Amino acid sequence: MAEGGKRQKTIDNIDKIIQQGQQFYQDTADAEGRGRFPGQGKYDMVVGGQNHGTREQYAENGYPQLQEEEFWDIEEALFGYWDWDTDDWPGGGFNHFESPLASSWLSVFGLMYHADPNAGLDNYDGGSFGTEQNLENRRPENHQLHVDDTPDNVNQNCSNCDNNASYTVSGHTEWLKLFGGEVINSLFQDGHYIYRVVPGYGSGESAVPPILYVADLENPVDFHQMIQP
What is the pLDDT, as a whole number, of residue 143? Answer: 86
Q: Does 70 have pLDDT greater than 60?
A: yes
What is the pLDDT, as a whole number, of residue 219? Answer: 96
What is the pLDDT, as a whole number, of residue 133? Answer: 42
pLDDT tens profile 206-229: 899 999 999 999 999 999 999 999
What is the pLDDT, as a whole number, of residue 88? Answer: 76
pLDDT tier, 121 (very low <50, low <70, confident <90, very high otherwise): very low
pLDDT tens profile 29-42: 998 889 999 999 88
One DSSP character per residue, 41-74 reads SSTTB-BSSTTTTPBP-HHHHSS-HHHHHHHHHH
Query: What is the 8-class DSSP label of residue 130?
Result: S
How far does CA 132 lie from the centroid of its chain?
22
Q: In what order do the strands lie in the sheet with 224-227?
A: 106-107, 193-198, 211-216, 224-227
Q: Does 161 have pLDDT greater than 80?
A: no
**pTM of the shown model:** 0.84
- Of 229, 177, 226, nearest to 14 (Cα)? 226
How far apart (Å, rounded) are the C-alpha atoms in residues 223 and 227? Answer: 14
Q: Give the mean pLDDT of 120-148.
A: 58
pLDDT tens profile 50-66: 999 888 887 677 789 89
How far apart (Å, rounded) are the C-alpha atoms in residues 2 and 7? Answer: 9
Q: Give the mean pLDDT of 120-135.
A: 40
Which one has a higher pLDDT value, 89 or 21?
21
Q: Give the count of domains, the chain.
A: 1
What is the pLDDT, as a whole number, of residue 60? Answer: 73
Domain that holds residue 134: 3-227
Q: Does 170 have pLDDT greater than 80?
A: yes
Q: Does 151 have pLDDT greater than 50?
A: yes
Query: What is the 8-class DSSP label of residue 201?
Result: B
- ∠ CA 147-186-114 to the nearest 5 degrees? 60
